[in-house]
Chains A and B, each alone.
Chain A
Amino acid sequence: MHISVAAERCIGSGNCVELAPRYFDQRDLDGVVEVLVSDVDASDESAVAEAADICPVSAILLGAGGAAQ
């Protein structure tokens, strides 16, 4: 599972940071999402998928591949 974000959509809700803090943070300037780690460990896939689902503006895009086991 690989993370990318459409940051221009982000409203800084922070839901992703709360659900998967290892993978997401927020910029100081405007609270917009920053991806910390883009390749998702298998054990974290469910939390990251939840973060993507819960994002109010669908800014988190998950693709296949690149998973570190």
Chain B
Amino acid sequence: MTEIKTEHVWPFERTSPLDPPPVFAELRATCPVSKVSTWNGREAWLLTRYADIRAVLADPGISSDLTIEGFPEPTPTVAAARGGQKNFARMDPPKHDEHRRMLAPDFKIHHVAELRGYLNELVDGLLDRMEELGGPLDLVDMLAQPVPSSVICQILDLPTERSDFFQDRVKTWMSFDNPPTVASQANQDILDYFSEVVDERFDEPGDDLISRMITNQVKAGNLGKDELLHILQLLLVGGFDTTANMIALGTLTLLNHPDQLALLRDDPSLVNSAVEELLRYLSVAHQVAFRLATDDIDLGAQCIHAGDGVIAPIAAANRDPEVFADPDKFDITRDARRHVAFGFGLHQCLGQPLARIELQVVFSKLFVRFPHLRLAGNPDDLAFRNSIIYGVAELPVIW
């Protein structure tokens, strides 16, 4: 088999802000499994087809352990940031499975559904505040960030006054524009804070996820305190920017497609379908799904060998014309449910039911409350985030 090595270097440039880099479509059509270089000169396989990305992410011969020599990372800052993470997202079975199952009950579909009442009140309150203040204002600051940060504070029973601290530390940890030492320090700040909280609750547990983990796992000897801190860091970074950026970019996408927005307004029952399509279309987790093969994987025309790095971009999978007809078209009536915006395989996002319900509540209310919502200022001035999770720094709106 001839290995195809391209001249491409990850990460790739986008040419339009809400579409993935055009290199994905080009390679998918000509050379769907190829080798690219990464920042340190190392090569990695780049997958571009939905079928290959799903197959590889679910293959038992794939590792997420970034301590293994040769593990690919998008940039040196991310390598440092992720190097500070010692949670089950960076582990393989059996330890991965043990840890994930400790959290899974808190993210059960039926359990998360119980948050709907809280979410309705939360979003109504945030929209009330927007209405009182009047436009123009920044949707990121007034809605997109407060929704997931309030939810995380609710689930972990953290004081909402701490929200700004978290948002700042997570943003710093995620940004590609910071040097590696800054990202590492942000991570340490988060771990230090959680250490204080765990100490406080050790002898006086409450009725929250952290207290349950202390009582059921740490005190039972299943989990070390340090391991718990790293798990909490994962919940924080997993649940903030991801959902916040989806709210902001989702709003922008709907504003950019007034025909789709009109469909949603005329038929509010389309909200769940709209959310799935937004997840597919935006694929905000655009620098995830880096893996290392620990076994050979045969993809037909090419073979991934043990020890090879692999990049399996969800954005490429989600725009594959073999799966999604006219994939670059934003269409809230299509059945987008097969998307892999939350990933695939055993590391698929733990928080996906929570993300879904947050987005469903926001998008069922935002345009009802503000039917004439539009962008304030020049759309060309929007600053898209150079970060592990794609987003926009501010979204000025008026109504």
Number of interface residues of A (CB under 8 A): 23
Interface status of A44 (Cβ within 8 A of chain B): no
Q: Which chain B residues lie closer than 8 Å to A9 at the CB level?
A: 346
> A53-66 interface mask toward B, CB cutoff 8 Å, 1 = contact, 0 = none?
11011100000000
Name which residue of chain A comes closest to B109, CB basis. Answer: A14
CA distance A49 to B346 in the complex (A): 20
Q: Which chain B residues lie closer than 8 Å to A11 at the CB level?
A: 97, 100, 104, 346, 348
> B90-116 interface mask toward A, CB cutoff 8 Å, 1 = contact, 0 = none?
000000010011101101111010000
**Known interface pairs A30-B101, A50-B337; A13-B108 also in contact (CB < 8 Å):** no
How near does chain A come to B224, taking the closest CB pair, in angstroms? 19
**Across the interface, do B337 and A54 meet the contact criterion of CB distance under 8 Å?**
yes
Chain A CB within 10 A, most for which of B348, B350, B352: B348
**Across the interface, do A56 and B109 meet the contact criterion of CB distance under 8 Å?**
no
Interface status of B58 (Cβ within 8 A of chain A): yes
**Known interface pairs A12-B107, A18-B109, A56-B343; A32-B348 also in contact (CB < 8 Å):** no
Interface status of B84 (Cβ within 8 A of chain A): no
**Across the interface, do B353 and A18 meet the contact criterion of CB distance under 8 Å?**
yes
Q: Which chain A residues lie closer than 8 Å to B97 at the CB level?
A: 11
How near does chain B come to A28, taking the closest CB pair, in angstroms? 6
Chain A residues touching B, majority SS: loop
**Across the interface, do A56 and B353 meet the contact criterion of CB distance under 8 Å?**
no
Contact among B101, B338, B346, B352 with A57 in the assembled complex (CB-CB below 8 Å): B346
Within 8 A of A (CB), among B31-86: 57-58
Contact among B58, B102, B107, B108 with A56 in the assembled complex (CB-CB below 8 Å): B58
CA distance A31 to B58 in the complex (A): 19
**Known interface pairs A11-B346, A53-B338, A56-B345; A31-B110 also in contact (CB < 8 Å):** no
How near does chain A come to B275, taking the closest CB pair, in angstroms? 12
How near does chain B come to A15, taking the closest CB pair, in angstroms? 8
Interface status of A42 (Cβ within 8 A of chain B): no
> B325-349 interface mask toward A, CB cutoff 8 Å, 1 = contact, 0 = none?
0000000000001100001111010
**Known interface pairs A57-B58, A58-B58; A13-B352 also in contact (CB < 8 Å):** yes
Q: Which chain A residues lie closer than 8 Å to B57 at the CB level?
A: 56
Name which residue of chain B comes closest to A16, CB basis. Answer: B109
**Known interface pairs A53-B338, A54-B337; A26-B108 also in contact (CB < 8 Å):** yes
Interface status of A25 (Cβ within 8 A of chain B): yes
**Across the interface, do B110 and A56 meet the contact criterion of CB distance under 8 Å?**
no
CA distance A32 to B256 in the complex (A): 40
CA distance A28 to B212 in the complex (A): 14
**Known interface pairs A17-B110, A50-B337, A54-B337; A12-B104 also in contact (CB < 8 Å):** yes
**Across the interface, do B110 and A25 meet the contact criterion of CB distance under 8 Å?**
yes
Chain A CB within 10 A, most for which of B102, B105, B112: B105
**Across the interface, do B110 and A32 meet the contact criterion of CB distance under 8 Å?**
no
**Known interface pairs A54-B338, A57-B58, A58-B58; A14-B348 also in contact (CB < 8 Å):** no
How near does chain A come to B353, taking the closest CB pair, in angstroms? 5
How near does chain A come to B320, taking the closest CB pair, in angstroms? 15
> A33-69 interface mask toward B, CB cutoff 8 Å, 1 = contact, 0 = none?
0000000000000000010011011100000000000
Chain B CB within 10 A, most for which of A14, A21, A28, A57: A14
Name 7 A/B residue pairs within 8 A (Cβ), A-sorted. A11-B346, A12-B105, A13-B348, A14-B112, A28-B105, A30-B102, A54-B337
B residues adjacent to A (C-beta < 8 A) = 57-58, 97, 100-102, 104-105, 107-110, 112, 337-338, 343-346, 348, 350, 352-353
Top-7 shortest CB links A-B = A31-B104, A12-B104, A14-B109, A30-B101, A56-B348, A17-B109, A26-B108
